[in-house]
Amino acid sequence: MQKGKQMTEKLKYANGNIPLTPKQQERLIKKAAKAYEKYMDALGFDWRNDPNSSDTPHRVAKAWVNDIAEGCYSNEPKITAFDNIDKYDGMVFQGNIKIHSLCSHHHQPFLGNAHVAYIPSPDGQIIGLSKINRIAEFYARRPQVQENLTMQIHDHINRVCGKNIGVAVMVSADHMCACVRGVKHNSTMKTAKMSGVFMDNNNLARTEFYEFIAGLRNDR
């Protein structure tokens, strides 16, 4: 997409990604705000004469582009992988990564935690712990179902950590679409995606991964 042009491409899927320049984002916010005005009109809200709602279309549009769906319009985080010079062959685990995402079905938030682990090979590559958080945040900030979010985080870690022997991701989240509509029940959804040695039920890595997650609760 050329710099300065309006967004002409469409996100084929709700959790897709089309990076925009700051100018393009500003134009998109204005366009989305105009559309949200019509949305509020259709629902019967006299928002223009309500001091608490008169700027709501712009606020909502800005929040979507800059925060809620930021992952749809921002560049993929730059991740530098380093050679595993110490030949570390144990598990690298990062737990309780805060997840704030949006269900693509009803556009209601789902909030929770991601737990990520990978095992580098002695001649493979490793990444900094903060980069795992950045990857999770990048994919969380877009409308989607939790299953896709789990797979996207896994696949990105698997891609950047060259020659790993296994990657595991588990996401646990509460979905507002189940709390405020439909059955109106509070419940927690858990999804997991694993590869390599984590796929073997008899391998200690899989057991250790879940023990690490359980230990997070016990450490508090």
112-171 per-position pLDDT tens digit: 999 999 999 999 999 998 999 999 999 999 999 999 999 999 999 999 998 999 999 999
SS3 43: coil
CATH level 2 (architecture), domain 82-219 = 2-Layer Sandwich (3.30)
| Cβ contact 164:177 at 8 Å | no
Q: How confident is the model at residue 3, as a pLDDT?
A: 47
- pTM listed for this prediction: 0.89
Please, which residues bridge with residue 93 across strands? 117
Q: Could you report the per-residue pLDDT of 171-214, keeping only the tens digit for each?
A: 999 988 777 766 677 779 999 999 999 998 888 999 999 999 99
Q: How confident is the model at residue 220, as a pLDDT?
A: 44
Q: Which of 102, 101, 84 is nearest to 92 (CA)?
A: 84
Number of helices followed by number of strands (H, E) in the chain: 7, 7
Q: What residue type is assigned to position 86 of the chain?
A: D
**What residue segments make up the domains of the chain, in order of their start?**
22-73, 82-219
CATH class of 22-73: mainly alpha
Q: Which of 170, 161, 110, 98 is nearest to 134 (CA)?
A: 98
| Cβ contact 102:68 at 8 Å | yes
